[in-house]
Amino acid sequence: MTIMAGRSPGAIEWFQRAKQMRRQQLNTLAQLGSLVNGISRLAHMLQCERGASNVWLCSQGTLYALECKASRALADDNLAALYRILDEQSPMPGSTVCERIASAIQSLDGLSALRDGVSEQNITAPQAMEHYSRILRHLLSIVPQLNDSIDDPQIAGRFVALYSLMQGKELAGQERALGAIGFTQGFFSDDTRQRLVDRIDGQQSCFDVFLSYCREDVRETFMLNCQPCLETEQLRRVACTRQPGADNGHTALHWFARQTARLEHLRTLEEIVIADLMMAVDARIQNDDEITPVDDEQDDPLACYPDKPLLPLLRQQAREIELLSRQLASLRDTLEERKIIDKAKSVLMAHQNMSEEQAWYALRKMAMDKNQRMVDIAHALLTVKTLWQVIPKE
């Protein structure tokens, strides 16, 4: 019996199956582009609403009334648009995505009550900020799950860049909100200062990851338009080193305007990165469709790299995929930790008659006293209810 050289029919079928699965994954991802855009737009308007609400609350309703009304209307428009997108999305890439969407919708259901509390001034600015930030965390947590089934390093890298940019922008929005509180009141507590520093450090870490994965022209746009301006840096130093004093909200409005301009630039860059991701997905689909028959020598991986050993190339690609996986896993772990802390706060609020702010301080104090992470204390609280008796009230 003569053994013919070349690939067997079984191998051809497996190549075709791989191509089919890859195309299906990429087509699903391409269809999810509108969902990513919808999340990005809604998140931006909720960030605007959060900031305006903080200024309005801290000024006892004397500043930013019109801005609150306008931002709410725009947020509602984008929320309705997101619901329409979700109705049209089928199928979703996995059950985890559906769970994240469910959590986001459940959180968004509380938006009306939050707005009533702001309008009636029944909650403080820090409480309002925490409520808005929780909604945004649930909303943004959908995005990294959309990449679960993609093993293409370039597409995965763009996803890491996008999500890191979105996370950095959210932390910049929280910085704007915290600064608005302090400058409007003319006073920064030690805790507010620490939270402000945490947001500044956190966003820089996110942007560093973003810059390491984005294209050179996108990197240049970020460095040119999205860095804090000199006035913002000066106001940061005031907030972190001395008390600004009351000035009828003048400094607060100046701070808010500078930070808003930066967030608008970040939003524009976000649109560019999303468009770049979708173009890369479309290009990958087109290239996949144009692949020559499997018995062509161009389909031989060795033929693609005649001057380079194959093993180092494979190892390099494996390292890239592993690094991207670790980046996504780290971002997801952070989201999960926040969810655990939120659940622990809810337990304290329900069983210890604490406000949300008191619950947060209680968890933080226990973590400091025991020299442990807050998420570890929160996890222990959820599993060992006897800890309720030893958590201090403030």
For the chain, give the percent of residues with pLDDT over 70.
81
The region of weakest confidence among 130-134, 231-235, 319-323, 336-340 is 319-323
Domains assigned to the chain: 27-289 (no CATH), 327-390 (1.10.10.10)
Instruction: Report the pLDDT averaged over residues 306-318.
Output: 47
Between these two residues, 301 and 115, which has the higher pLDDT value?
115
Contacts of residue 245, defined as CB under 8 A and 6 or more positions apart, other chains included, come to 186
pLDDT in tens, 164-181: 999 999 999 999 999 988
Q: What is the C-alpha separation between 72 and 87, in angstroms, rounded?
A: 23
Q: What is the C-alpha separation between 349 and 12, in angstroms, rounded?
A: 61
Between these two residues, 302 and 110, which has the higher pLDDT value?
110
Rounded (5°) CA angle 267-270-271: 95
pLDDT in the model for residue 9: 60
**Which pTM value belongs to this model?**
0.70
Q: How confident is the model at residue 315 (pLDDT cuts 50, 70, 90)?
A: low
Between these two residues, 94 and 106, which has the higher pLDDT value?
106
Asked if pLDDT for residue 8 goes beyond 70, the answer is no
Between these two residues, 275 and 329, which has the higher pLDDT value?
275
Asked if pLDDT for residue 290 goes beyond 70, the answer is no
Q: What is the C-alpha separation between 96 and 144, in angstroms, rounded?
A: 10
- Which burial class, exposed, middle or buried, applies to 240 when counting CB atoms under 10 A from its CB (0-12, 13-18, 19+)? middle
Residue 43 structure tokens: 């998140």
- Which burial class, exposed, middle or buried, applies to 379 when counting CB atoms under 10 A from its CB (0-12, 13-18, 19+)? middle
Residue among 105, 46, 99, 100 nearest 77 (CA): 46
